[in-house]
Amino acid sequence: MRMRQLVPFLLAAGLSTAALANPYETTLKNGLRVIVKEDHRAPTAVQMVWYRIGSTDEVDGASGVAHVLEHMMFKGTPSVGPGEFNKRVAAAGGKDNAFTSRDYTAYFQQVPKEKLADMMQLEADRMRHLNVDAKEFEQEIKVVMEERRMRTDDNPQAKLFEQMNAVAFQAHPYRRPIIGWMNDLETMTAADAKAWYDTWYVPNNAYVIITGDVDHKEVFAQAEKYYGPLEGRALPPRRQQIEPVQEGPRHVTVKGPAELPVLIMGYKAPILRDIDKDSDPYALEMLASILDGHDAARFNKKLVREDKVALSAGIDYDNTARGPGMLYLHGTPSEGKTIADLEAALRAEIVRVQKDGVSTQELKRAKAQLVAGQVYKLDSMFGQAMEIGQIESVGLPYQKLDHMLDKLQKVTAADVQAVARKYFNDDALTIGVLDPQPLDGKPRRPAVATRH
Amino acid sequence: MKKLLIAAIALLLTHSVFAGVKIEHWVSPSGARVYFVESRVLPMLDVQVDFAAGSMFDPVGKSGLAALTRAALDLGAGKLDETAIAEQLADIGANLTGGADTDRASVALRTLSARDKREPALDILKTVLHKPLFDAAIFEREKARTIAGLKEAMTRPDSIAGKAFWAAMYPNHPYGRQATPESVGTLNRDDLVAFHARYYNAANASITLVGDLSRQEAETLAEAIASGLPKGQAAVLPAPPEAPKGGLTQLAHPASQAHVYIGLPAVERGNPDFFPLLVGNYTLGGGGFVSRLMKEVRDQRGYAYSVYSYFAPLKQTGPFQIGLQTKRSQARDAIKVARDVLEGFLKDGPSDDELAAAKANLTGSFPLRLDSNKKILDNVAVIGFYGLPLDYLDQYQARVQAVTADEIKQAFARRVRPESLITVTVAAD
């Protein structure tokens, strides 16, 4: 209950936490940044260690190695045997896991606060002392192949998304799936994983985020004790890989066992690089909210509820990334409607914004949701750590998160109309279609009508 | 009107002074059971209303009725059409969620607690609960979408396996009956109206409130929700499920991976066997990366990415379930390993070290179960809906700590009889 007095203050300041020093930050001599966000509502803590390394840093023939290494990180060091990491976290009453994305690889533990120092010791140990054992690798690579089968190979919708990105991007590494192509997993060796680890797992390529019922000064002291002795090392230069400008629409069809067709329309879209100077990524985010931010937002209201052309329709747009951006419109046509019908309906909604704009009421609604979301997000310590981790992973400072909100609040209806006119351009469009196939060889519904 | 004081479980675990949450409970004048946790840390409020109106109450031949009734609640109510409901909620940044499972139909509201947000949000909640319209055209639309979704689910190996597993576990009980395109196809609007009239009443409701609210405000608010509901009668449970005859169901599918479920009906909510089963299952397959199943199936052999076991106690005997997915050609081997692990555990129970590790994790992780309003809401709503003791959370660590290896062996012997085990595979060679 100690934060009770702070809440009105937080709200009065327009949800700005800038006036409070929280979160706190320090950088160790070896280059490791430590960010602490104190939250005293419950006696728990979250530690996340983020490495600035993801599938985008892989090379052809070795796709998936970032994720495989993430699995190997649980396989032991000279002082912590194979499987022992999980055992110690469990003994501490904690939960742990890890995830790999295109841009980063991150590890986390949620623990009772008394156990935080033990978790820091464990993470520091595996930051520089991992054993990449060949025998462990031999078993674990099979586990990763099973993971790929589960997530992608037997999931036609996921496979469509994988293929779409392989077509939308030709030069940029975002064309490769994070989990890796199956053939690359089959030929991968323990030496590949070891080389990845030796190159990229150094304190100056990482940052630690801790949220919870902790004192930042104590956490900094523990960080110095456990992470401080690790040696930093210069990182190899990373080449900037720029996707050539797309000069015409692209199409990809995936056939798979399913009942319902799926349409994805992916447009190349801008990414936030400069929080202060950029404006289009904010306007596109508000557009996404107006089209798909609640049950009566435009897509659901018009396409699903009124015209019944779609069983579902949505938009996905993430305006932060290290690499290039995409905005996806997606949906499934209703019984009796085709992919072409759905595509026409989605396009008509975009044209409506291009011609008539959006109402101030719609914009106000999207902003009200944003404000409430800022309060709701404080309900999760893990969510707060994630927010800081993700923004930092793309090279933007977490101190400017509040400023991003201000920028979103300042988006006007004219801004939204302008980005709708600018980015929904067929020359930058990739269309992906899932063509559902019967499981038993008997056609169950008419073939999908596509336009190519 | 009994106020519970925080129990002194710190005696057990000297490092843990976190003593759970203070649940206030009363019955509203209109007859609904109310559970309230005051939490002033964040300026927000969660309200969840649970009715015993899950799929177990679907009439024979009308499977899918409970789910569709719940889904249609907020698609038009009182003077508000479905668009007005969604827009007005969005205007104040409130979220209305929920759904129906086997036992419960839930309607959950999250709103900012400032009066100018909270009052309109609660008005919408009440309207949705008290005066749903079940508009005929919207009903037909949602019915068509539900049928399409069911057809899609029937192409997915995990859904196919799950449905077959429940059907085999509960051959003569509503838990085994599931919505099909055909059963949903027979539903009409009147079915929804009748189901709503029967089950969405005060006697059949529990209301959980967590957040920035005083006790007095909570009482007023809960009664405003309850008083607009018919007084009604609590749902009547069917005869409890019987143990099935064990057996193997194999279903064909073109997937590269086989989906495997092994299990049986095991235990209901509130049964004293629950704590021995919980603690024992941690070692067997519940303890994430450190369980025996994980060690043998994943770490030693690389057979699966995900392998687990759990007990899911329900209003009536809920399942014990082992699940895994593996390359179709090695399904047989993986099943054998999982069965061997289970048999070994049934025979010997956990070792002393395993038991100690299970207790350390389950008691040590207790604060993590309650470190957000959302988690508190989920826990307290379960306590309220299932009528668990109000000190359930306060006693949780002590109950875990008191479990012995013998109790685990005996509870497993009673609840997991090998001759009743159902095995379902989809896409196994």
How do B257-267 and B318-327 pair as beta strands?
antiparallel
The reported pLDDT for the residue numbered A216 is: 97
Q: What is residue A392's DSSP assignment?
A: H
Confidence of residue A106 (pLDDT cuts 50, 70, 90): very high
pTM to 2 decimal places: 0.93
Q: Which of B14, B17, B42, B82 to mutate to test the interface with A (most CBs of A within 10 A)?
A: B42
What residues have CB less than 8 Å from A55, skipping those under 6 apart? Answer: A63, A64, A66, A67, A100, A101, A102, A173, A176, A177, A178, A180
- Note whether B141 contacts A308, CB cutoff 8 Å: yes
Whether A367 shows a pLDDT value over 50: the answer reads: yes
> Cα–Cα distance between B284 and A276 in angstroms, integer?
53
- Note whether B41 contacts A7, CB cutoff 8 Å: yes
Superfamily designation of domain B22-227:
Metalloenzyme, LuxS/M16 peptidase-like (3.30.830.10)
Out of A38, A58, A70, A362, pick the active-site residue: A70
> Cα–Cα distance between B177 and B54 in angstroms, integer?
12
Q: For B322-359, what is each residue's pLDDT tens digit? A: 999 999 999 999 999 999 999 999 999 999 999 999 99
A vs B, Cβ pairs < 8 A, gives 207
Overall average pLDDT of the A149-172 stretch:
97
Shortest CB distance from B290 goes to which of A82, A90, A144?
A: A90
Whether A296 shows a pLDDT value over 80: the answer reads: yes
Confidence of residue A444 (pLDDT cuts 50, 70, 90): low
Task: Return the CATH architecture of domain B247-426.
Answer: 2-Layer Sandwich (3.30)
Q: Is the fold of B22-227 the same as that of B247-426? A: yes
Shortest CB distance from B86 goes to which of A139, A294, A378?
A: A294
Overall average pLDDT of the A29-39 stretch:
97
Confidence of residue A240 (pLDDT cuts 50, 70, 90): confident
Pick from B134, B112, B103: nearest CA to B44: B112
Nearest residue of chain A to residue B74 (CA atoms): A295
Confidence of residue A2 (pLDDT cuts 50, 70, 90): very low
What are the residue ranges in chain B where pLDDT is below 50? 1-18
By the 8 A CB rule, do B384 and B33 touch? yes
By the 8 A CB rule, do A82 and A372 touch? no
Is A392 one of the annotated active-site residues of the chain? no
Confidence of residue A442 (pLDDT cuts 50, 70, 90): low
Strands (E), A196-347: 206-212, 250-257, 262-269, 310-317, 325-333
Mean pLDDT of chain A: 93
Name the B residues in 177-216 with CB < 8 Å from any A CB. Answer: none
> Cα–Cα distance between B215 and B1 in angstroms, integer?
11
Residue spans of the domains in chain B: they are 22-227, 247-426
Terminal CA-CA length for chain A: 62
